[in-house]
């Protein structure tokens, strides 16, 4: 196919896709107009039923908790797959990262980056924990908080060395954190079964809306998700870094 023909095919396809998009846009409800009943119902009942002031969290971790469990296991499976693919395989061998760093002109980390990175680690950890702990009260929750916590590990790497990252997050700890986080979600769900109701039923005391210890199972589930996500992302980060820095195939020049 010559470039001219290709361009013509693209223009026809783009015009068709554009027309379809415009047609779809004209059928959208007006800005701010909401037609479905569910949002209104949830806004009315969620705080009274679950003591969760963040209705989004009440939906994702309670009313629709099984769905979120599936999402958590998607991430779990993805991280597991990356780990299986990237961990040293039989035809590969590890070399200390210092050996091949000499022939590559990696610039030394500047003091400015080191200082900014190190000062940010504390606040970022605190902010991550805050997001996880207050998921049922304000925007945030286990997923967002977990990713922010993992960012702290990234800051450690950026302002230090790969070795420092491994020292603050040993492989065993990240592996266990990810697995325990994932398993805890199911364990909390089974509390409902043990109490004689449904899986993932909110069986813990609900408390007063707006209190830190309220909304029943939503807080522990957020904690489990936070652990899983933080562990998973740090694991992902370490595996990728290890690949880039350490592992070589036999016969590769280093």
| Interacting residues toward other proteins by CB under 8 A | 54, 56, 104, 131, 139-141, 143-144, 147-148, 150-151, 154, 233, 236-237, 240-241, 243-244, 248, 252-254
Q: Could you tell me which of 154, 155, 169, 161 has the C-alpha nearest to residue 109?
A: 161
User: Is 224 or 236 the residue whose CB approaches other proteins more closely?
Assistant: 236
Query: Least distance in Å: CB of 230 to other proteins?
Result: 11
Nearest distance from C-beta of residue 191 to other proteins, angstroms: 25
Q: Are residues 52 and 218 in contact, defined by beta-carbon separation less than 8 angstroms?
A: yes
Does residue 239 contact residue 87 with C-beta atoms inside 8 Å? yes
Residue 6 phi/psi, 5° resolution? -60, -40
3-state secondary structure of 247: strand
Closer to other proteins by Cβ: residue 150 or 156 = 150
| Nearest distance, CB of residue 211 and other proteins, angstroms | 20
Cβ closest to other proteins, residue 131 vs residue 223 = 131
Least CB distance to other proteins at residue 239 (A): 9
Residue 206 to residues 133, 211, 217, Cα–Cα distance (Å): 15, 10, 8
**Closest to other proteins by CB, 56 or 201:** 56
Count of beta carbons in the 10 Å neighbourhood of residue 12: 10
- Give the pair of three-digit tokens for residue 238: 């370490």
| C-beta closer to other proteins: residue 140 or 216 | 140
Closest to other proteins by CB, 144 vs 169, is 144
HEC string of 81-110? HHHHHHCCCCCCEECCHHHHHCCCCCCCCC
In degrees to the nearest 10, what's the CA dihedral of 40, 41, 42, 48? 120
Instruction: Write down the least CB distance from residue 225 to other proteins, Å.
Output: 12
Are 96 and 254 in contact, with CB atoms under 8 Å apart? no
CB of 107 to other proteins, least distance (A): 14
């Amino acid at each position: 196919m010559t470039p001219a023909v290709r361009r013509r095919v693209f223009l026809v396809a783009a015009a068709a896709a554009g027309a379809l998009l415009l047609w779809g846009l004209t059928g959208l409800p007006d800005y701010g107009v909401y037609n479905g009943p569910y949002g209104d119902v949830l806004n009315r009942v969620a705080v009274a039923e679950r003591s969760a002031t963040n209705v989004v969290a009440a939906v994702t971790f309670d009313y629709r908790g099984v769905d979120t469990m599936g999402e958590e296991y998607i991430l779990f499976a993805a991280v597991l797959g990356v780990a299986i693919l990237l961990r040293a395989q039989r035809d590969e061998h590890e070399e200390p990262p210092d050996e091949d760093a000499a022939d590559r002109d990696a610039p030394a980390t500047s003091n400015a980056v080191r200082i900014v990175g190190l000062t940010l680690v504390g606040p970022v950890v605190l902010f991550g924990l805050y997001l996880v702990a207050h998921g049922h009260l304000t925007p945030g929750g286990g997923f967002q908080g977990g990713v922010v916590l993992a960012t702290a590990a990234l800051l450690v790497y950026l302002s230090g060395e790969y070795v420092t990252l491994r020292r603050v997050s040993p492989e065993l700890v990240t592996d266990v954190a990810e697995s325990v986080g994932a398993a805890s979600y199911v364990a909390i769900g089974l509390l409902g079964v043990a109490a004689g109701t449904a899986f993932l039923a909110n069986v813990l005391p609900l408390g007063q809306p707006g209190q830190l210890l309220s909304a029943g199972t939503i807080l522990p589930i957020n904690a489990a998700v936070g652990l899983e996500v933080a562990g998973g992302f740090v694991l992902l980060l370490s595996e990728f870094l290890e690949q880039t820095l350490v592992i070589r195939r036999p016969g590769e020049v280093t």
